[in-house]
Structure 1
Amino acid sequence: MVRTPLTPEEHERGERLGRLLREARTASGRTIVEVAAAAGLSAETLRKIETGRAPTPAFFTVAALAGTLGLSLDGLLVQCELMPVVGTA
């Protein structure tokens, strides 16, 4: 199976999701290791999501992180909507 390359907008959405999750985690005073363990993930997986290196995590991964961090999936969806990326060629 060949995966279609992500668009610049999709990369930006992944980076935005990572920022939102990192902000929620740091605001809660929890470490990557603590949140990852509570969500059933490896710390490296969470690190990749937070830094945008894994811009398209599985739905169940996002749901587990949202639940662990007390975030609304609806709120994350609205904040991570696809928006045109300006200045890319």
Structure 2
Amino acid sequence: MVRLPLTDAEVERGQRLGALLRRARGARSMLDTALDARVSPETLRKIESGRVATPAFPTIAAIADVLGLSLDEVWAEINRPDGGFQRPAPVRTVGARSGS
């Protein structure tokens, strides 16, 4: 199977994903994070460095879970035009009532 070259947008999203995961990991070791997510430390290193710009969904889901990130947060952050890290505001569901 031949992989098509990544687009510039895919490369940028991969870099933003890596930066997000590094920031979310904070002082926690890469080894502990990888082992808790059941991925290899090398895989996590490649994702954090942007070398793997389009990692598999289950891999990202596992890492996000270990880091306490929702997949909605990950998606919102990697698709921000400026790539800045910012926890999104809670989503209000249709029909939700405020405390009145």
Q: Normalization by structure 2: what TM-score?
A: 0.77
Between structures 1 and 2, the one with greater helix share: 1
Runs of 4+ in 1 over 6 A off after TM superposition: none
Q: Which amino acid aligns with 1:34?
A: D
TM-score (norm 1): 0.86
> Structure 1 vs Structure 2: percent identity of aligned residues?
56
Bigger Rg, which one: 2
Equivalence for 1:21: 21
5+ long unaligned stretches in structure 1: 84-89
Please state whether the residue corresponding to 2:28 is helix, strand or coil.
coil
Q: 1:40 aligns with which of 28, 38, 41?
A: 38
Aligned length: 81
Tell me how large the CA RMSD over aligned residues is: 1.2
Q: Extract unaligned runs of 5+ from structure 2.
A: 82-100
Structure 2 partner of 1:10: 10
Following TM superposition, by how much is the alpha carbon of 1:36 offset from its aligned partner in structure 2, in angstroms? 0.2
In 1, Cα distance between equivalents of 2:71 and 2:55: 14
| Partner SS, residue 71 of structure 1 | coil
For residues 41 and 72 of structure 2, what CA distance do their matches in structure 1 show? 25
Aligned partners of 2:29 and 2:22: how far apart in 1? 10
